[in-house]
Structure 1
Amino acid sequence: MGKRVTLFITMLLAISSLAYAQDIVVKGVIKDKQNQTLPGASVLLKGSQNGTVTDVDGNYSLSVPNAQAVLVFSFIGYGSQEVIVGNQTQINITMAADQRSLDEVIVIGYGTQKRGDVTTSIASVNTKDIEERPILQAAQALQGKAAGVQVTQPSGKPGAALSIRVRGATSVQAGNEPLYVIDGVPTMDTRDLNVNDIESIQVLKDASSAAIYGARASNGVVIITTKRGKANQSQVSFGAYYGFSNIAKKIDVLNPQQYAALMNEMGNNVTVGNETTDWTKEVFTTGQNQNYQLSFSGGTDKSKYFVSGAISQDDGIIKPASYKRYSFRANLDNQIKSWFKLTTNFSYANAKIRDVKDNNNAGRNAVVLGTLGAPPTMGIYSEHPVRGTIFSTNPLKAGWDNPLAAMFGPTQATKDNRIFGNVIGDITLAKGLFVRSNFGIDYMNHSNDYYLDPYRTTEGWGTDGNTHGFANATRSNSFTYLWENTLNYEKSVEKHNFSALAGTTVQKNNWNNSYIAGRDFPADGIVKTINAANEITDAYTEQSEWFLNSYLGRVMYNFDSKYLVTANFRADGSSKLAKGNQWGFFPSVSAGWRISAEPFMQDVKFINDLKLRGGWGQNGNQEGLANYASYGLNRYTRRTATTPPSGPAVTGPEYAPNPDLKWETTTQTNIGVDVSMLQGKLTLTADAYLKKTNDLLLNVPLPNTSGYSYIPRNSGKLENKGLEFVLSTVNFDKSDFQWNTDFNIAFNRNKITNLQLSKVYRYADVEGRSDQIIILQEGASLGTFYGYVSDGVNPETGDIIYRDVNNDGAFTPQDRTILGSAQPKFTYGMNNTLTYKSFNLSFLFQGSQGNKAFNASRLETEGMYDSKNQSTEVLRRWQKPGDVTDIPRATDGNVNNSLISSRFVENASFLRLKSATISYNLDREWASKIKLSRASVYVTAQNLLTFTKYKGFDPEVNAFTSSGATLGIDYGTYPVSRAFVVGLNVQF
């Protein structure tokens, strides 16, 4: 009997196996919730390449191997669905709006959260186009992409840092840049980060989202997560691009004949000889951009890896300015035990920067204004009876080198070696209870060497002919370590979801620096190190350190993702402040209400998700504080040695000590709404905020009788308030053609609301003028221009008419007034992506409206007071009584017609086509034939078009970056270039 049963069972299994071995044909139709068919929807057999797409009527037919097969249904803009075939041969699908954006897990401070449950203002930046744009810094990926995040490129010099303002500037003398957190390690500099390694970027904009970072978060927090390997998905990726760049706009200057006529009009005897030079053509050349990236990723469920290496180079449009970087990254994930995971992030970068001098006048060897101001009647080289062929100098101005001498005379290079990374241990103590320990380091080795050839340049010899070359060398090391320990608890009971976080963190930095300078080098110029100098002119070493100790906590609760509450708290203690003021406390709270989940919204079909949220919190600004800001430090100056030696003389403290000094505190309130409509085809986010900074750090001037020049003091208040809107739309979505648009716009108003003790501060000196360009006073914004009002040119005298503002009948300094502000009324960005079959077109517009710029370059190019060449604008100059023009007469040595005035304040609003890319993706079937999983080629134009009324090279400029008050000043700044690149991306 048993044998018969066994035989019967065996036969059943065999029949079952045979049945499962036969293919099953599954058919069906795919529709949306409006009962409209979806042509071009994808149907894929999970775990294979077997699949199909629906026809024009939404129908499909697919053969599957057995009843255990799983079909994956997907369509752009809709959530994917998985269905087990079983005994079904007809499977009809109704697809709902894509809710993945709500269920997507995003990175927040010290953790993650579902996007739909976020109660704060966080901007997620799409990084998909990074690999198709010639960008070298992470900040460039933010330009035009996030509302309220203003990214400007104050200089086009290769390797120059970008400037980021999150909801406006919050400080005058402390830092205004956001805090960056890369894979859990905070830093203030991301220039060494390979942008192709970036997986995601989140910007914490309001205080309730950033308060978990406490004393460093008043300017916002940018969280960057790098790429990681995926289990059972081994992949090799290679990307390369090559391109060229050129100057986007020229400023025309006088030709030799026009220049000679102007000089002779000014009383100088200038003739046009055989030697003439077009300095703009000689200086502004074609730059080159290139990048090569190779990465490997993959692994198993227990061990995953991502390893990458890249070489990036940017040769500027003004030689020899260049930036070259070698970078390497290794990200490892190891599940050592079921309860223990070890994560390692390691990166190394080697960067070399060659600089050229800008942001100064032509007489200080600043190349940009030197190019515009160099006499066109002068040749590049001249013969010296002793030194032979040397760079020529301005014959009308002794000691002024030509711009090529400023470019190629010095040998200069900056080298940085940086190691950055961390090791994270995650331990599961019990269900829902986790502990994390994070140890990170940031080590920077910096060197700078400068050598001025005594043989090839005039400056190297000095005005007395005895300097004989000059060199200096700087060496510095910075080491920062971070150790964080956090405990996280998560618990869900039916519809109640709760999580709590508590932790401690310590961070310490040690920095040291050495400097030496010498002069009087051998004339052959072979040895360029300072050991060849006959005289050491200066030498010193210095060191400092800071320490930050913190305690943090967070509680999050939501009921069915309908009612949401989050509370944060952080306490920071800083070594930068004196006892009694070392600790700061930074709380925040936020709440959200998903209105769309309420019963009364169930009949509103066109709204898929509607959430109202609000938050309040406080942040600090520790980054702007000097390491020993509250202590009065002595200054030492070398003097002639005595016998017996007594050491250098103390010249007194630099500033008065202030034991009551504390960091700035920014309090911010935010209200926002998130809406998703029309099955996810339209999403809208709107925010309103009020951001107040108290205890504003200022260097308050003191009377000379005090013995100090100033005292650092918490001495003011500042306010930012604004509105932000983000709109994303699916404009067209068919099987062969898709078109998506992302638009953002932000309005911000910045104002100084209170100044104590000193009521007026002045910033931004320009050589040759006794006045500063910027004023800081109550009621005005940062970046406010101050000077005289120009009412045009007097037709009888040819001089500028300056307005008698105070009506006292005289022209005096009391007639100066506010001339405008560099603060924009609003900034905006719009990105469009169009896809047709295998072709993709994307273009990003970026704009700023209502901001002014002070074109200090025109002080020199339209001043007509010395021997510098001028722009062609001066061809309209006043020359005789009765001339009606806006350009005054030429003078010799008199700068009264080019005082700091409204004449040089210009409308700097602009609309820029920041990038445009067209790409082609090789058909997967063709790619697989050559052993590729993906292959694409692309052509990108960067800064292709700029629409503006600004007369300078570029409206997005700032020559003075040391202070938050000095914005929008153009003073011979290295212009931003226009770039064209062609690239290739392949995956194996």
Structure 2
Amino acid sequence: METNLFLRIAKLKNKGWCTLFLVLGLVFLQLSSFGQTGTVTGTVKDDDKTPTPGVNVTIKGTTTGAATDVNGKYAIKAASTDVLVFSFIGMQTIEVSVGNRKVVDVILKSETKKLNELVVIGYGSVQKKDVTTAVSTVSAKEIADRPIVSAAQALQGKSAGVQVVQPSGKPGVGLSIRVRGSTSVVASNEPLYVVDGIPTDGVSNLSPNDIENMVILKDASSASIYGARAANGVVLITTKRGKSGKALLSFNAYTGVSKIGKTIDVLNTEQYRQLLKDIGGANQVPDGISTYTNWNDETFKTGTIQSYQLSASAGREGYSYYVSGGYQEEKGIVAPASFKRYTFRANMDNQLKEWVKLTTNFSMSRAQNMNAADNAGSGRGGVILSVLNTPPFLSVWDSKNPKQYAANPFQPSWENPLAQSAAKDQNTDSKIQGSAALEFSLLKDLKYKTTLGVDYNVHNWDYYLDPVRTNWGRKNNGLGKADRSSSTVWLWENLLTYSKSFNKLNFNGILGSSTQSSRWDHAYMEGKDYPANIPIETLNIANLIDPYSASTSASEWSVLSYFARASFNYDNKYLLTANFRADGTSKMPSNNRWGYFPSFSAGWRVSSERFMESIASVVNDLKLRVGWGETGNQEGIGDYYYYGTYGITRRPITDPYSGPLLWRQRMNNPDLKWETTTQSNVGVDVSFLNSRITLNMDAYYKKTTDLLFDVVFPSTVGLGALRRNNGEVENKGFEFNITSQNLKGALGWTTDFNMSFNRNKVTKLGLTKNYLYGGIESNGQSIILLKEGVSLGTFYGYISEGVNPETGDIIYKDLNSNGKIDPDDRTIIGNAQPDFIFGMTNSFTWKNFNLNFFIQGSYGNDIFNATRIDTEGMFDVKNQSTEVLRRWKRPGMVTDIPRAGNIYNSNNSTRFVEDGSYVRLKSVTLGYMLQGRWMGKVGINKLNIYVTGQNLLTLTNYSGYDPEVNMGGGSSTVLGVDYGTYPQSKSVVAGVNIEF
């Protein structure tokens, strides 16, 4: 029967709704029960001998079960050979053999065993009670019933001190993660990901269903074991492995729809006609035109999402395996934005001999991402702003040529939003990652492990614009571009581990080395002049290949590392850990090639002292922690920056100086240094009332020195930029996480709440004292200022004091009192850094139902709504939002919207700075765990169905599409700027998890 059901489900691949209907239909089946030999009754009590309602009582190996009533009593039919399993949230699970008994009473003890759970740390693991550093854990259980696309998404709002921002709502877009703030300007600020021991540059290829747990190393004392790559924190990901026992076959699937959460109203044809009259000029809407196109309705459609994964795992003495394959697809609310991913994973463990173990990990993935351009003005291909700016009287298609999108009569290069999306703009990433490790037990307490790993990536970017439908396509008679790159990273690590107990003293030490090398190759080409009647979308069909755009490049780097750690635990009270890592890289000049990264941490378990015995029933565990360490950031250093780099181009054959031309791309810097981040941490972990309340608090200070910047020379000098060490930045903050078991019994309720406060500031700049970032296309001004004493993401512009009732123009504050408004009147006008961020998860259980809702938010951050410059500026022929209906029209009129026709009113100013604080119901999930004797007959061990809503409710004062936004993507400087960014959507998803 199991085989038949599996084949039926397998035949339904890519038919998500059919699979769900099949499973939901099982709910209504009524099958006969299995015969039992007798009824067993009993009472379940807790530590205080109080009857405990809502305890699950099941027969081991079956789905047959019962629950205790309000008096802690239960009754279940069981045979003498059965084993009863008693489980309850927050209590230890116990198993009791029935034997000849008819009454089985049990006492459940508090779940203090959680303190003995292992927490993965760099190159090893440690019991949770012995952790002396700032780490956070996200388990597979916390993300099991959430339809998430990436591992990074699973971290949002789940860990104190970790800020996860989804800068765009496009399918497959990368998330921006900051662990205790940004530490660099031009280098990466993303954490290092280590998957099953292999460092990698990202986890977009990883299926969330394959994750067993994630551990975030937040402070330097925990992360310094990874040295030069750990300044931004480390995310350790452990994937699932086979376990001893019965073979398991699991099938997970979900499917759903998404809609835009909010639209922005724009002017209709008559209102637009009047606006152009107020602006003046030659571009006017003829009086006879009254057609109207609702570009919101034409562009924003219903998106879809679906995911399927099948996995098998098993284990017996000396051998285990876990194998999975999955497919995920998301179609966005704006065509053609979409994301597809295919994944395969095989993890195996072999105990070859008593003294040697072989562990292998292998994964393959292929991700395809179709782009819909955002973060750009409607004149530069931005789809979102084109929705708002395209004239409302314009039709979708040209009335004279239905194969062509209608052209804007005022600005033919400004395509309508559907034409903006007409190009094929696709990224395809293929990844193979694997490792094999041999672990030898040399002596009783001494182990040696050698690991060989490889990370192979291929990236393809293809762009094609047909020669017919769009204005730009017709001008080029079709346009094609192709970008190809590949990288191979090899890793070889060797590790010695020694563990020994001496009476009350426990010692653990590691000594290791790591060698890593990389090769990257890249090629680019473009062409145009495509035949209109041949629908082939590759460069092969282009008649004109541009010889001057073609380019190739390659680079290599290598890193050699040595590391060590020593941990001491005396009497389970006094804990001490010291780490040291030395990294040498080919990216650095010989005089600065090696970086050295030490750290230490200590802990004192106060609750184990005698003076705490009197309150032991209230305070179950209390531990104080302190740590200090140094980490580095090698990601901002180009492979050959200290040498300097050159580019080669070719002059046209018609040029008298035709031939190869060598030009300076970047100046050399023989004194280049590491960015070094020093961090101190003080923390406390405490649990109360039989661990029903757990509190973790940390305060930290981190400072980055030798900050990297690009010094740009005037164009007349003829030299490229110089990357040099030129500043310092600091982050300091406080974070806490509290977990509480609010209700125990038939109705269970647990809460997990975390909050983080971080203050970021640039404390020192060397050669250049001011930097400007974040250029706004429409007004040609930069919005971000970087200088000493301010934080990253500081807005810079004029102070708007409202509209002059007599002239209708914005009144800007004359800060230098020289009687005129000039660039010297610009000042700090906002900050994208939040005062605090938070996340809260509430989980309810009642009988077989579970309800989980996750709230996430940010407070105190500003957003520069540059979208309003294009929708409220009224300085050209773009359509505007309905806000401009309140524009100034006559002397004496009091309003906050200036007159039409003056771009001076659209300077970067406080007019466009808004409060970006928000509280969002990120997800809410209602699930039901099916139980019944019929499940055993069809071979099902576990069956859970659920419905999830995502982004259903957002409370904010922000007027744009979405407050979780940033046109700078993962930039550490351009923060909180909204300029036609693809909005996030609301979605409803139904899913099922089946285990055979």
Aligned counterpart for 2:368 among listed residues 333, 347, 352: 352
- Match 2:413 to one of 390, 399, 408: 399
The DSSP-based 3-state class of the residue aligned with 1:654 is strand
Residue pair 2:175, 2:970 contacting (<8 A) in 1 also: no
Give SS of 2:387's match.
Answer: helix
The residue matched to 1:903 in structure 2 has which SS? Answer: helix
Q: Where do 1:131-146 residues align within 5 Å?
A: 131-146=144-159
C-alpha separation between the residues in 2 aligned to 1:259 and 1:458? 23
Q: Aligned equivalents of 1:732 and 1:791: distance in 2?
A: 53
Q: Is the 8 A contact 1:455 1:524 kept in 2?
A: no
Counterparts in 2 of 1:767 and 1:492: CA distance versus 1, 3 Å: same
1:269 aligned to 251, 263, 284, which one? 284
The structure 1 residue matched to 2:442, chosen from 429, 435, 438, is 429
Which residue of structure 2 lines up, in the alignment, with residue 16 of structure 1?
Answer: none
Q: Could you tell me which residue of structure 1 aligns to residue 403 of structure 2?
A: 389
Deviating more after overlay: 98-107 vs 818-827: 98-107
Quick one: structure 1 residues 769 and 433, their matched pair in 2 at CA, closer, same or farther if it must change by over 3 Å? same
Q: Which whole-Å CA distance do the structure 1 matches of 2:825 and 2:477 have between them?
A: 48
Distance 1:155 1:750, change over 3 A: same
Structure-1 separation of matches of 2:86 and 2:402:
79
- Are the structure 2 counterparts of residues 64 and 257 from structure 1 closer, same or farther at C-alpha, using a change threshold of 3 Å? closer
> For residue 432 of structure 1, what is the amino acid of its counterpart?
D
Which of the numbers 568, 588, 609 marks the counterpart of 2:579? 568
Once residues 167 and 83 of structure 1 are traced to their aligned partners in structure 2, the CA distance between those partners, rounded to angstroms, is: 47
Aligned to 1:869: 879
Is the contact between residue 739 and residue 834 of structure 1 (CA under 8 Å) also seen in structure 2?
A: yes
Aligned partner (choices 659, 671, 686) of residue 675 of structure 1: 686
| Residue 276 of structure 1, CA deviation | 2.6
Distance change in 2, residues 1:52/1:314 (3 Å): closer
**Equivalent position of 2:32 in the other structure:** none
Which residue matches 1:158? Answer: 171
Please tell me the residue identity of whatever aligns with 1:335: Q
Distance 1:415 1:705 in 2: 40
Amino acid of the residue matched to residue 404 of structure 2? I
Task: Tell me the amino acid that sits aligned with residue 426 of structure 1.
Answer: E
Question: 1:455, CA displacement in angstroms?
Answer: 1.7
Paired residue type of 1:559:
Y
Q: Which moved more, 1:835-844 or 1:489-498?
A: 489-498
C-alpha distance in structure 1 between counterparts of 2:134 and 2:932, whole Å:
39
Per the alignment, residue 514 of structure 1 pairs with: 523
Deviations 1:443-490 (A, max 9, x none): 11111111111122211233xxxx322111111111111111100011
Q: Supply the AA of the counterpart residue of 1:597.
A: S
Q: What is the one-letter code of the residue matched to 2:834?
A: P
Partners of 2:313 and 2:321 within 8 A in 1:
yes
Partner of 1:295: 311
Query: What is the DSSP-based 3-state SS (H/G/I as helix, E as strand, rest coil) of the residue aligned with 1:859?
Result: helix
* 1:714 Cα deviation from its structure 2 partner: 0.8
SS of equivalent to 2:419? helix
CA distance, structure 2, for counterparts of residue 305 and residue 627 of structure 1: 39
Q: Deviations over 1:193-220 (max 9, x none)?
A: 0111111011000000100100000100
1:482-561 pair list within 5 angstroms = 482-537=491-546, 538-561=549-572
Paired with 1:721 and 1:835, the residues of 2 have a C-alpha distance of: 38
CA deviation map 1:685-712 (0-9, x unaligned):
0000001111111112345675435321
Secondary structure in 2 aligned to 1:548?
strand
Partner residue, 2:752: 742
Q: 1:173 — aligned with what?
A: 186
**In 1: Cα distance, 2:77 partner to 2:445 partner:** 43
User: 1:977 — aligned with what?
Assistant: 985
Residue 628 (structure 1) aligned with residue 640 (structure 2): yes
2:91 corresponds in structure 1 to 78
What secondary structure does 1:430 align onto? coil
Aligned counterpart, 1:210: 223
Alignment partners' CA distance in 1, 2:823 and 2:135: 47
Match 1:909 to one of 894, 906, 917? 917
Q: Is residue 130 of structure 1 aligned with residue 148 of structure 2?
A: no
Per the TM alignment, residue 56 of structure 1 is displaced from its structure 2 partner at its CA by 4.2
* 2:327 is equivalent to residue 315 of structure 1: no
Match of residue 343 from structure 2: 327
Alignment partner of 1:844 out of 838, 842, 854: 854
Matched, 1:733 2:740: no
Q: Look up the match of 1:13.
A: none
SS at match of 2:385: helix
State which of 436, 449, 457 in structure 2 corresponds to 1:444.
457
Paired position in structure 1 for 2:486: 477
Do the aligned partners of residues 705 and 388 (structure 1) sit closer, same or farther apart at CA in structure 2, a change above 3 Å counting? closer
Superposed CA RMSD in Å reads 2.3
Please give the secondary structure, in 1, of the residue aligned with 2:317: coil
Correspondence for 2:842: 832
Helix, strand or coil for the counterpart of 1:515? strand
Per-residue deviation, residues 345-404 of structure 1 (Å, max 9, x unmatched): 1111111111111111011121000111000011111156xx773111111113222111
**How big is the shift at 1:133?**
2.1
Residue 118 in 1 paired to residue 122 in 2? no
Contact 2:63/2:931 (8 A) holds in 1: no
Please, which moves more after superposition, 608-617 or 417-426? 417-426
Render the CA deviation track for 1:141-195: whole Å, top value 9, x for unaligned: 0111111110010011111100000001111110000000111111121111011
Q: Which of 816, 827, 833 matches 1:806? A: 816
**Equivalent residues of 2:779, 2:906 under 8 A apart:** no
Deviation at 1:295, TM superposition (A): 0.8
Q: CA deviation at 1:330?
A: 0.8
Deviation by residue 1:323-355 (Cα, 9 ceiling, x = unmatched): 011111111111111111111111111111111
Q: How far apart, CA to CA, are the structure 2 residues paired with 1:431 and 1:654?
A: 57
Any idea what SS the aligned residue of 2:685 has? strand
State the 1:48 CA deviation. Answer: 7.7
Question: 1:14 corresponds to which residue?
Answer: none
Q: Which runs of 5+ in 1 are unaligned?
A: 1-22
Structure 2 portions without partners, runs of 5+: 1-36
Q: Tell me how far 1:520 sits from its aligned partner.
A: 1.8
Structure 1 equivalent of residue 665 of structure 2:
654
- Cα separation, partners in 2 of 1:76 and 1:224, compared to 1, 3 Å: same
Paired letter, 1:838: N
Q: CA separation of 1:670/1:924 partners in 2, compared to 1, >3 Å: closer, same or farther?
A: farther
The answer (yes or no) to whether the contact 1:243–1:288 under 8 Å persists in 2 is: yes
Letter aligned with residue 771 of structure 2: Y
**Is the Cα contact below 8 Å between 1:27 and 1:89 reproduced in 2?**
yes
C-alpha change, 1:528 and 1:59, in structure 2 (3 Å) is closer
Task: Indicate the SS of the match to 2:590.
Answer: coil
1:4 alignment partner in structure 2: none
Distance 1:280 1:50, change over 3 A: closer
Counterpart for residue 38 of structure 1: 52
Structure 1 or 2, whichever has the larger Rg, is 1
What's the TM-score, normalizing by structure 1? Answer: 0.93
**Contact 1:453–1:525, Cα closer than 8 Å, also in 2:** no
TM-score (norm 2): 0.92
Identical-residue share of aligned pairs (%): 52
Give distance in 1, aligned partners of 2:502 and 2:97: 29
Q: Distance in 2 between matches of 1:985 and 1:365?
A: 42
CA 1:158–1:71 in 2, change beyond 3 Å: closer, same or farther?
A: closer
Q: CA deviation at 1:587?
A: 0.5
- Residue 958 of structure 2 corresponds to 950
> 1:32–1:256: structure 2 CA closer, same or farther, 3 Å change rule?
same
Q: Quote the Cα distance in structure 1 between the aligned partners of 2:732 and 2:538.
A: 53
Choose which of 600, 620, 626 in structure 2 pairs with 1:589: 600
Letter in 2 for 1:701: V
